Homo-oligomer: A and B are copies of this chain.
């Protein structure tokens, strides 16, 4: 197989690891790149000095392409982007912001730019801003999420027919079957987050990884729609938010309950009740904390074996 995503990043498999906050350090990113996918460092939870160190360690750990995910909503975003440029990173995924803000600057520095979107409208805006590809991320995805609540099944075909760019599907993808389904919908590649949270190389707290593996279909829900919608695992903190929302809480009240440092507390420090646990719906089918190389091998072999059986489906 070869396609636009494989060529754009010069990778073996069109499998991209989501650059999640608190879960995606150099160790995860380099392991994914070494296994034939594209690893992304999640810079959203990193201050500039730490990000610099992470990039340097990643370069030492892999000779293959890797990238950095940059949510455009933190005070240290610009400083982080300077470090990314100075360190010679070749791929940047931007998210949670306007693709016009930094695309030109990054491309002038020879960087491949991909923007994460959750609606056709923003896919078109991203194309206008000059990005090289988009990630079309459905409602089922973990973490920050779109206001339209469009699922992967509906979003991907609509984005594919609306832009000329290669499209990376995200949300609900964690194995070879869902990867093949996403490509059938017209995507050129997939981005998986939750699947790589539950990896040995992921930097999340071990107790959080175990919780992801135990999760069933009712484990997550979209919350904080009045602020920025975010898919969370249900716990004490989530319940407080949900209760407040049911009573019609204002943005300010919600911000007060949220407070500071919740995501770190939950995903990185392992406080499973008081912390914010960002994860996708697809955690319900994730069956164990595994090394990245095994995760990718399993995905590829399931993908290929399903392909082999496909001709029997001819109508």
Q: A residues touching B (Cβ–Cβ < 8 Å)? A: 1, 13, 119-121, 138-140, 148-155, 157-158, 161, 171-173, 175, 177-178, 180-186, 216-218, 221-222, 226, 246-248, 280-282, 284-285, 300, 303-304, 306-307, 310-315
Question: B175 near A157 (CB under 8 angstroms)?
Answer: yes
* Known contacts A120-B216, A248-B246; is-contact A151 B281 (Cβ 8 Å): yes
With A177-B185, A217-B155, A247-B248 as contacts: A314 and B304 at CB distance below 8 Å: yes
Q: Which of B1, B120, B217 contacts A315 (CB 8 A)?
A: B1
Q: Which 3 A-B pairs have the closest CB atoms?
A: A248-B248, A153-B172, A181-B181
Question: CA A121 – CA B149 in complex, angstroms?
Answer: 24
Taking a contact as CB atoms under 8 Å apart, the answer to whether A285 and B181 are in contact is no
Q: How far does the alpha carbon of A241 sit from the alpha carbon of B248 in the complex, in Å? A: 13
Q: Beyond A119-B217, A218-B148, is A154–B181 a contact (Cβ under 8 Å)?
A: no
Additional 11 contacts, C-beta under 8 A, given A151-B152, A247-B248: A1-B312, A149-B222, A150-B217, A150-B284, A151-B281, A153-B171, A154-B282, A157-B175, A157-B177, A184-B306, A307-B311
Contact check, A153 vs B177: say whether CB atoms are below 8 A apart: no
Provide the residues of chain B in CB contact with A157, threshold 8 Å.
175, 177-178, 285
Asked if A151 meets B138 with Cβ closer than 8 Å, knowing A158-B284, A315-B13, the reply is: yes
Chain B residues with CB under 8 Å of A183's CB are: 313
> 15 A–B contact pairs at CB < 8 A?
A1-B315, A13-B315, A120-B284, A140-B151, A153-B171, A153-B172, A153-B181, A154-B281, A158-B284, A178-B185, A181-B182, A181-B184, A307-B310, A307-B311, A310-B310
Contact B150 A153 (CB under 8 A): no
CB distance from A201 to the nearest CB of B (A): 21
Of the listed residues A150, A183, A280, A300, the one surrounded by the most CB atoms of chain B closer than 10 A to its CB is: A150
Contacts of A181 in B (CB 8 A): 153, 181-182, 184-185
Residue of B nearest to A147 (CB): B218
Q: Verify A158–B217 contact, CB threshold 8 A.
A: yes
The answer on a CB contact under 8 Å between B281 and A150 is yes
Considering the chains assembled together, what is the distance between the CA atoms of A303 and B1 in angstroms? 20
A304 pairs with B310, CB closer than 8 A: no
Closest residue to A161 on the B side, CB-wise? B285
Whether the pair B177, A151 counts as a contact (CB closer than 8 A) is: no
Which residues from chain B contact A247 at a C-beta distance below 8 Å? 248
- A310's nearest neighbour on chain B, judged by CB, is B310
Q: Which residues of B contact A180 (CB under 8 A)?
A: 184, 313
